[in-house]
A and B are shown apart, each in its own frame.
Chain A
Amino acid sequence: MGSVEQTFVLKVPSDTENLAMIREFVTGIGNRAGLPAPQVAQLELAVDEACANVIEHAYGPEVVKEVSVRATVDDMAIQIDVVDTGKGFDPASVSQSNLDQLVAERRSGGLGMKLINTLMDEVHYQVIPGEKNELRMIKRLKK
């Protein structure tokens, strides 16, 4: 990240009904940073996917845990960190199945991380055992 950095944070309970609020927050960040509309939509979807993964997989049925979305913006990029304290995952274990396989297996999941990786310029995942899991996604403003 470069200079003149601004940080915005949204913390919500781990319930899928809060995904709409998260999307509105992220869309506001993208618009404020001057990102073109199609890329704002990409940012919105990537963060939705990340938070849905946390709510449905890291926390499971617990809807009162905290999902933290921290946006750091400067003139070069928007960095979004999605932080949870639930069950982490091994990115290497995420399904690499292609669409044909997922359809044949009648699966409804397995597409979220692929979308995130496609939509964002950089994706990093860090597990700090016993403390937190953090998915960092970066969208560059200048290419």
Chain B
Amino acid sequence: MATSFSVERGTSGEFIILGLNGFLDAHTAPQFEKAIQQELEAGNVRLIADCGQLTYISSAGLGVFMSFIEDIRAAGGDLKICNLTPKVAQVFEILGFDSIFDMTPTVADAERSFANPVREV
């Protein structure tokens, strides 16, 4: 019984939407890491993680967000997090991710939030 996880890539105008599905844990975090790495290498830094289908996250998954955000912002972009289920949102909040990342209810809200100044860590 391995953990099920996938990243579905989409675009909306100038934004890259990474739809996260399933369970993001220590086993699957490298898949998410690879997906973000590929976007950075392609010069895509306006990223939105759509977590509507993300049913579980552990610190290994949170660590992927944490390890890339500085480089993404240094390149003039941002990584927005949206559409969190209550269970997953609780984990982000416990660790204070809402102070570092823009977290919005919908993808459209995330797109609009790119107009806001980037947060300073």
Show the binding face of A for B, using Cβ within 8 Å: 16-21, 23-24, 38, 41, 45, 48-49, 52, 55-56, 98-100, 102-104, 106-112, 114-115, 118-119
Main secondary structure of the interface of B (DSSP, over half): helix
> Could you tell me which B residues sit within 8 Å of A by CB distance?
1-4, 23, 25-27, 29, 33, 56, 58-60, 62-64, 66-71, 87, 90-91, 94-97, 99-100, 121
Question: With the chains together, A28 CA to B62 CA distance in Å?
Answer: 25
Q: How far is the CB of B85 from chain A (nearest CB, A)?
A: 11
B27 touches A17 (CB 8 A): yes
Chain B residues near A48: list those with CB within 8 A.
25-26, 58
In angstroms, Cα B95 to Cα A119, docked, is 11
B3 touches A106 (CB 8 A): no
Determine which of B29, B70, B90, B97 lies in contact with A104 in the assembled complex, contact meaning CB atoms within 8 Å.
Answer: B70
* B23, B90, B100: the one within 8 Å of A103 (CB): B100
CB distance from A76 to the nearest CB of B (A): 25
A29 → B minimal CB distance (Å): 17
Q: Chain B nearest CB: distance from A47 CB in Å?
A: 10
Contact of B121 among A20, A24, A56, A100 (CB under 8 A): A100
- B63 lies within 8 A of A19 (CB): no
Query: A111–B59 contact, CB under 8 A?
Result: yes
Contacts A17-B3, A19-B27, A24-B1; is A103 near B91 (CB within 8 Å)? no
